[in-house]
Amino acid sequence: MSTERRGGSRRTSRPQGPAAQRSQRPRKPAPRRPAPRSGEPDRDVHVADGVRLQKVLAQAGLGSRRKCEELIAEGHVEVDGVLVTELGVRVDPAKAQVHVDGMRIQLDASKVTIALNKPLGVVSTMSDPDGRPTLAYLVKDRPERLFHVGRLDADSEGLLLLTNDGELANRLAHPRYEIRKTYLVTVTGGEFYPRHAKQLTEGVELEDGLARADKVRVVDAVPGETMLEVVLHEGRNRIVRRMLDAVGFPVTRLVRTRIGPIALGDLRVGRTRVLGRTELGTLMRDVDM
C-alpha cells in the first residue's frame, strides 16, 4: 500500500490482487477472555494434591479432556476469580469456584437442583401435621435431602425449585437478588383494561405494605374471564392473589411458569427434572455465585 499527496490532501492506494483479497477478509474474533471476578491481583490457585483442571471440567460435562484443555488455553476458564491458561493447574473440586465464560460450573456431583411442577392441592412443605399431600411424596425417589426454594400455596400450581445446595437456596430466597417469577393467572371481575395493569405496576397498597408487579399483560380473554401474565420479584405470601384482589380481579387459577432463567416448559404435573448445566450455571450467576 502506498500514499501520495495530491492538492494538499493525503490519498492511500489499496493493494490489488489476491494479497488485497486476503487482507480484506474478516478476521476471526479472538476468544473472549472473561475479566477476573475481583479487582485483586492474580493469586496462585494451584493445589498441589488436587485434580487437574481439565479433568475436573471434563467430569463436569464440559466435553472431552482435549476440548477442556482448549478452553483453558484459550482463556475461557477462571478459578476463584483468577484467569487460568496453564494446563498444569490442579484444583480442589470440593472448594474451587470455577467459571467458564463467566458461568459458574457445579463441580460437586453430590449437589443437585431440580424443577418440580407442583400439582393443585399439594402444600409446599416436606411434612404436614394435618396429613395433607406434601412435596416429599413427589420426590420420594430422590436420595438427597432437598429444600424447596420459596413456596406456592395449596391452591396454586406450577414451578418450584428444590435443591440440596444450601447456599443456592438461601440466595434464591434472599430479596437482595430480586429473582423474577412469572405467573399465568386466570381472573374474573369484568374486562381487564390497561389502567388495571398500570395500577399493578405502579403499586397496590396491601395490609403489609406497597406491592408492585414488574410486568402485567393480557394473554387471553373470554366473557367473564381474563388470563394474565404477571411478573414480579417479591415473595410475600399469596402476593399475586392479594394484588389482583385489591384491584377487583379475584384469581380463579394461578400457575407459576418461570423462576429467573428456569422455565416450567412442558414438564408434566407432578413430575420433576434435574436442571441442566447451562440452566444451573445461569441461575447461579444470577445470584452472584
- Name the pairing type of β-strands 147-149 and 157-163: antiparallel
- CA atoms of 48 and 50, how far apart (whole Å): 6
Radius of gyration, alpha carbons of the chain: 26
SS3 assignment for 105-156: ECCCCCCCEEEEEECCCCECCCCCCCCCCEHHHHCCCCCCCCEEECCCCCCC
DSSP per-residue letters across 51-113: EEHHHHHHHTTS--HHHHHHHHHTT-EEETTEEE--TT-EE-TTT--EEETTEEE---TT--E
- CA atoms of 267 and 245, how far apart (whole Å): 29
| Crossing angle of helices 166-173 and 277-286, rounded to 10° | 50
- CA atoms of 257 and 157, how far apart (whole Å): 9
The residues carrying an active-site annotation are: 153
Which uninterrupted H or E stretch holds 157? strand 157-163
- CA atoms of 173 and 134, how far apart (whole Å): 20
179: left (phi over 0), alpha (psi -120 to 50) or beta: beta
- CA atoms of 66 and 226, how far apart (whole Å): 54
Q: Are 227 and 184 in contact (CB under 8 A)?
A: yes
